A and B are shown apart, each in its own frame.
Chain A
Amino acid sequence: MIASLNAIVPMACVAAAGIAAMIAEAFTAPGERMPIAPLGIIGLAGAALAVGALWDHNASSFGVVAADNFGLFVTAILVVVGLLSLAISAPAIDREGLPRGEYYALMLFAIAGMILMATATDLIVIFLALEVLSIAVYVLTGIRRESAVGTEAAFKYFLLGSFASAFFLYGIAFTYGVTGSTHLDRIGSVIAAQALAPTPMTMLALGLLVVGFAFKVSAVPFHMWTPDAYEGAPSSVTGFMSTGVKAAAFAAFVRVFLSAFEPLRASWGAVLWPIAAATMIVGTVVGVAQTNVKRMLAYSSIAHGGYLLLALISGNDIAKGAVLFYLLTYALTNLGAFGVIVLLEDRDRPNDKVSDYAGLWNDHPALAALMTIFLLSLGGFPPMAGFIAKWYVFSAAVKAGYTWLAIIGVLTSVISVFFYLRIVVMMYMTPSGESMARFPAVPKLAGAALVLSALAIFYLGILPSRFIDLAAASISSIF
């Protein structure tokens, strides 16, 4: 009986930390400072230990949550996302005066939802997880209650996200109608049986699920909410959701489409092909025109979603490993970049225009160097991890015969370099003129977290073999 709970231990650790954070907040007298972040760190550390203990055990709980290596790998990524997010949140909370307990509790609940989403094997549970994480993230987006931009962003995100959830739910309903089950294994066997002649109903179900997922991974043309939400949310939250939500949504996307709906790959591949191409192109081309760093990184994150879609479409063994490696790299890199943004924010000015970064090299050489590492990694330069990740995805695409999509991928990544470099140009090559922003001092914990992620990026870029093998081993467990 107890053993059947094993698979939910990682999620339970994080959720318990979230509840503890709420209680701690409730028992804190006004004005008293309660160290809540350490609760989160304990919870995440517990989840990490559980991942280690469950590795290779293929545990499953209630028949709907499977702690297979694939889910555990994504869980590990989410733990990293959580730890880095906590580290960069502390300075943001202090500066903006955000409600500490709520903030941490919501973030931990969101991570619990993400972990559940990555390990769920039943569409209903995936939906449940999606709602848990989405609602927490909606609130986090609007947690700066006095900020009009933040409220607007949260509202937009909520409205469009609800549409997406509705689509997703319809998709589940139709899938149930066709297959008589919401469990992925059952769906898979029914679909496999009728693979040669899929009914219109099956295609409708598939289409609705695609729309639901496409919203969550902000694929074009369902990306409209992304720039506004990313810009309006506090930067620490943006960093969190741009990596965590993406990792969880892609994990479920891969699990549903490459296991249950694998027999119909030709059909959904044809639908996702233009979506992936448009996502890469729109993300990079529109990114070039941005003058706000957070908006720019929002479009960059759309484009990175496009590369992940490219891997998903390719669908071979390399591609599945590539998704995992890419999500890990992207989490470290993007959270690193948002960490730098958080550290450069000031109480009275956001310092998030590209031009605000002018001359950063003179004021904060270390932060400028870190930002450069993160940006170059996002752009896919060796010896940073971003290069290996992109190379991994493109080799999957070449192997699967999606040469044109791969060509679009490499060319858009050249375009994306252009806007990443605009920030580098500002930091290193433009003298800090009148617009020179006054940057606050760097808190130690957040600084250390950023240095660690930069080192990890170099490690994954120079000696990726260990993690490539791990990713490959993770996917062999379920597909």
Chain B
Amino acid sequence: MHFPILTSLIALPIAGALLLLFVPDDEHGDGTVRAVALVVSLLVFAETLLLWYHFNAASAEFQFVERHDWIPAFGISYFIGVDGISLLLVVLTGFLTPIALLGSWESVHKRTKAFAMFVLLLEAAMIGVFVSLDLFLFYVFWDAMLIPMYFLIGIWGYDRRIYAAIKFLLYTMAGSVLMLLAILGLAYMHSVATGSYTFDLLQLYEMSIPAKTQVWFFLAFALAFAIKVPLFPFHTWLPDAHVEAPTAGSVILAGVLLKMGTYGLVRFAFPLFPAAAQLFAPILATLAVVGIIYGALVAMVQPDMKKLVAYSSVSHLGFVVLGICAMNMQGVQGAVYQMLNHGVSTGGLFLIVGMLSDRRHTRLISEYGGLKKVTPHLVAAFLIITLSSIGLPGLNGFVGEFLILLGAFRWNPKMAAFAATGVILSAAYMLWMFQRVNYGPVTNEKNARLVDLRTREWFVIVPIIAMAILMGILPNIFLKPIGPSVQRMLNQVQQGSAPARIEARR
């Protein structure tokens, strides 16, 4: 019996949140609250690194598996484990949470305690989503995650925060309840076939589902994930949620939450329903490409930096979905890698925008200009993260986009060609924004005496930059554990879809 490291990863943030209950909620308590939350989230991060260290990268199997009966009458178990696909997403969650906490120390003044509690609970739920191997457990975490995020946006957000919070919650929920029914349908089919219910993902992988049923189930799952990603045309909640959320909320939303959609496609929708996936992949990919170009074009005309970054997410996540739809090694590996990249670089961009908005209380591009002379360090960090976001070789974004385009080209050259324009467009909108904010003369007096990076902000931004460079120069460290698991998942999809396709043709 080894140490239940995954359970402890979920339990530690919850324990931290409960511990915070006993800290007084006033001016004096704030320092303690921040310290406790930061220490807990750093411990979680350290533990995720430990997990990675002990992870056998050569194996495609699920590791650190724990399984306990939970609701035996329905074959529901507490069944968790990680493979190469989820491992790094767990690490990413551990990496971004302390940064998000640290990054909002100055912008969150009221109710610090509740804020820290919600962030920690959110972290527990996010890790839970990534490690669940039981569909019921997965759904519980998936839904439970909405509540802390709802409060984070609704209480600590900007002006239209209530609208954004409710929209976020209802959109995501509307998508996911149909998935719940599909999950129930799957379990029921299993009970018809074998006589017992199960929500065990590995057993459900083995089940052969008639092609027509697969279509319905796939649509229910894909809708939930498409809203979460968000895939065009289900993206309208995202700009609102991002713009209105506090910095920490945006970082976690962009960094981790959006990945749950793409992760869900890789982990659940595609391997569970391979025949339907084969059928719908071109449609999903088309929506993804439309999203890449649409997101980029809309981002270009945004006057608000945060909104610009939000739309850039729509564009970047389009790449991830395209890579998944390509269903080959490069495509999917690139997609998983790009999930991590996007977490790092978009998280970084939101942090930078947050720092500017902490100083000036505006996010409008037109309010800035010439910052390079005033805050050189901040602008340097801004530049590196911008370049990483647009995929400059040597930084992280390049590797992921390159792999995805390679995979997409092997699958469908036309899609790849259209998607590639997104790379150019992203360079255009990001650099144009960067130029308007940072170059030229200082046109607005208020910008003349802005403070450069503070010590705390150095601690926030340096890890992001270090990660961006590391992932750009040594991608193999990260790609190595991803590979075998992706291969296993691809085999599953190909084996599963072959007989079903013949059946459909008949």
Which A residues have a C-beta under 8 Å from some C-beta of B? Answer: 365, 376, 381-383, 387, 391, 394-395, 398-399, 403, 406-407, 410-411, 413-414, 417-418, 421, 425, 428-430, 464-465, 468-469, 472
User: B184 near A394 (CB under 8 angstroms)?
Assistant: yes
Q: Which residues of B contact A376 (CB under 8 A)?
A: 147
A414-B174, A465-B70, A469-B73 known; A421-B146 Cβ under 8 A: no
Seed contacts A428-B155, A429-B161; 13 additional CB < 8 Å A-B pairs: A381-B144, A382-B139, A382-B140, A382-B144, A395-B188, A398-B188, A403-B185, A406-B184, A407-B181, A414-B173, A417-B170, A429-B155, A465-B71
User: B143 near A465 (CB under 8 angstroms)?
Assistant: no
CA distance A477 to B182 in the complex (A): 31
Q: Which residues of B contact A411 (CB under 8 A)?
A: 174, 177
Q: CB-nearest residue of chain A relative to B150? A: A421
Q: CB-nearest residue of chain B relative to A466? A: B71
A382-B144, A414-B174, A468-B73 known; A399-B161 Cβ under 8 A: no
User: B71 near A464 (CB under 8 angstroms)?
Assistant: yes
Tell which of B150, B165, B177, B185 has the most Cβ of chain A within 10 Å: B177
User: A391 near B180 (CB under 8 angstroms)?
Assistant: yes
Q: Mark B468-492, 1 if CB is under 8 A from A, else 0.
A: 0000000000000000000000000
Q: CB-nearest residue of chain A relative to B153? A: A429
A383-B140, A414-B174 known; A398-B169 Cβ under 8 A: no
Give B123-179 interface residues, CB cut-off 8 Å to A.
136, 139-141, 143-144, 146-147, 150-151, 154-155, 161-162, 165-166, 169-170, 173-174, 177-178
CA distance A418 to B174 in the complex (A): 11
The answer, among A395, A413, A417, for a CB contact under 8 Å with B74, is A395
Q: Mark B10-43, 1 if CB is under 8 A from A, else 0.
A: 0000000000000001000000000000000000
A382-B143, A387-B143, A428-B154 known; A410-B71 Cβ under 8 A: no
User: A381 near B170 (CB under 8 angstroms)?
Assistant: no
Which B residues have a C-beta under 8 Å from some C-beta of A? Answer: 25, 69-74, 136, 139-141, 143-144, 146-147, 150-151, 154-155, 161-162, 165-166, 169-170, 173-174, 177-178, 180-181, 184-185, 187-188, 191
Q: Which residues of A contact B146 (CB under 8 A)?
A: 381
The answer, among B141, B143, B151, B185, for a CB contact under 8 Å with A398, is B185
User: A429 near B154 (CB under 8 angstroms)?
Assistant: yes
Q: Which residues of B contact A399 (CB under 8 A)?
A: 184, 188, 191
User: A383 near B144 (CB under 8 angstroms)?
Assistant: yes
User: A421 near B169 (CB under 8 angstroms)?
Assistant: yes
User: B166 near A425 (CB under 8 angstroms)?
Assistant: yes
Per CB-CB distance, the 7 closest pairs between chain A and chain B, nearest first, are A410-B177, A382-B140, A398-B184, A429-B154, A465-B71, A382-B144, A395-B184
8 A-B residue pairs with Cβ-Cβ distance under 8 Å, sorted by A, are A381-B147, A383-B144, A398-B184, A411-B174, A418-B166, A429-B162, A465-B73, A472-B73
Cβ distance B199 to chain A, nearest Cβ, rounded Å: 10
Q: CB-nearest residue of chain B relative to A429? A: B154
CA distance A410 to B154 in the complex (A): 24
User: B181 near A414 (CB under 8 angstroms)?
Assistant: no
User: Interface SS of chain B: helix, strand, loop or mixed?
Assistant: helix
Q: CB-nearest residue of chain B relative to A395? A: B184
A395-B184, A417-B169, A468-B71 known; A381-B178 Cβ under 8 A: no
Q: Which residues of B contact A417 (CB under 8 A)?
A: 169-170, 173
User: B144 near A428 (CB under 8 angstroms)?
Assistant: no
User: B184 near A414 (CB under 8 angstroms)?
Assistant: no
Tell which of B136, B147, B174 has the most Cβ of chain A within 10 Å: B147
Q: Which residues of B contact A403 (CB under 8 A)?
A: 181, 185
A429-B155, A429-B162 known; A414-B177 Cβ under 8 A: yes
CA distance A365 to B24 in the complex (A): 13
Q: CB-nearest residue of chain B relative to A382? A: B140
Q: Which residues of B contact A395 (CB under 8 A)?
A: 74, 184, 187-188
Q: Which residues of B contact A414 (CB under 8 A)?
A: 170, 173-174, 177
Q: CB-nearest residue of chain A relative to B73? A: A468
Q: CB-nearest residue of chain B relative to A472? A: B73
Cβ distance B165 to chain A, nearest Cβ, rounded Å: 8
User: B188 near A406 (CB under 8 angstroms)?
Assistant: no
Cβ distance B393 to chain A, nearest Cβ, rounded Å: 44
Q: Which residues of A contact B155 (CB under 8 A)?
A: 428-429
Q: Which residues of A contact B136 (CB under 8 A)?
A: 391
CA distance A103 to B300 in the complex (A): 68
CA distance A394 to B180 in the complex (A): 9
Cβ distance A283 to chain B, nearest Cβ, rounded Å: 17
CA distance A403 to B147 in the complex (A): 27
Cβ distance A281 to chain B, nearest Cβ, rounded Å: 15
Cβ distance A423 to chain B, nearest Cβ, rounded Å: 12
Q: Which residues of A contact B70 (CB under 8 A)?
A: 465
Q: CB-nearest residue of chain A relative to B76? A: A465
CA distance A410 to B183 in the complex (A): 13
Tell which of A421, A429, A468 has the most Cβ of chain B within 10 Å: A429
Q: Which residues of B contact A472 (CB under 8 A)?
A: 73
Q: CB-nearest residue of chain B relative to A388? A: B71
Q: CB-nearest residue of chain B relative to A430? A: B162
Q: Which residues of B contact A468 (CB under 8 A)?
A: 71, 73-74
Cβ distance A307 to chain B, nearest Cβ, rounded Å: 13
Cβ distance A163 to chain B, nearest Cβ, rounded Å: 36
Cβ distance A53 to chain B, nearest Cβ, rounded Å: 26
Q: Which residues of A contact B174 (CB under 8 A)?
A: 411, 414
User: B180 near A410 (CB under 8 angstroms)?
Assistant: yes
Tell which of A382, A399, A407 has the most Cβ of chain B within 10 Å: A382
CA distance A446 to B345 in the complex (A): 51
User: B181 near A398 (CB under 8 angstroms)?
Assistant: yes
CA distance A391 to B161 in the complex (A): 30
CA distance A365 to B114 in the complex (A): 11
The answer, among A365, A410, A425, A430, for a CB contact under 8 Å with B181, is A410
Q: CB-nearest residue of chain A relative to B163? A: A425
User: B151 near A428 (CB under 8 angstroms)?
Assistant: yes
User: B73 near A418 (CB under 8 angstroms)?
Assistant: no
User: A407 near B169 (CB under 8 angstroms)?
Assistant: no
The answer, among A365, A410, A425, A428, for a CB contact under 8 Å with B178, is A410
CA distance A428 to B162 in the complex (A): 10
Q: Which residues of B contact A429 (CB under 8 A)?
A: 154-155, 161-162, 165
Q: Which residues of A contact B177 (CB under 8 A)?
A: 410-411, 413-414
User: A425 near B162 (CB under 8 angstroms)?
Assistant: yes
CA distance A6 to B193 in the complex (A): 45
CA distance A429 to B111 in the complex (A): 12
CA distance A394 to B351 in the complex (A): 42
CA distance A403 to B139 in the complex (A): 19
CA distance A428 to B144 in the complex (A): 18
Cβ distance B362 to chain A, nearest Cβ, rounded Å: 22
Q: Which residues of B contact A391 (CB under 8 A)?
A: 136, 180, 184
Q: CB-nearest residue of chain A relative to B173? A: A414
CA distance A401 to B173 in the complex (A): 23
Q: CB-nearest residue of chain B relative to A410? A: B177
Cβ distance A473 to chain B, nearest Cβ, rounded Å: 10
User: A394 near B181 (CB under 8 angstroms)?
Assistant: yes
Q: CB-nearest residue of chain A relative to B146? A: A381
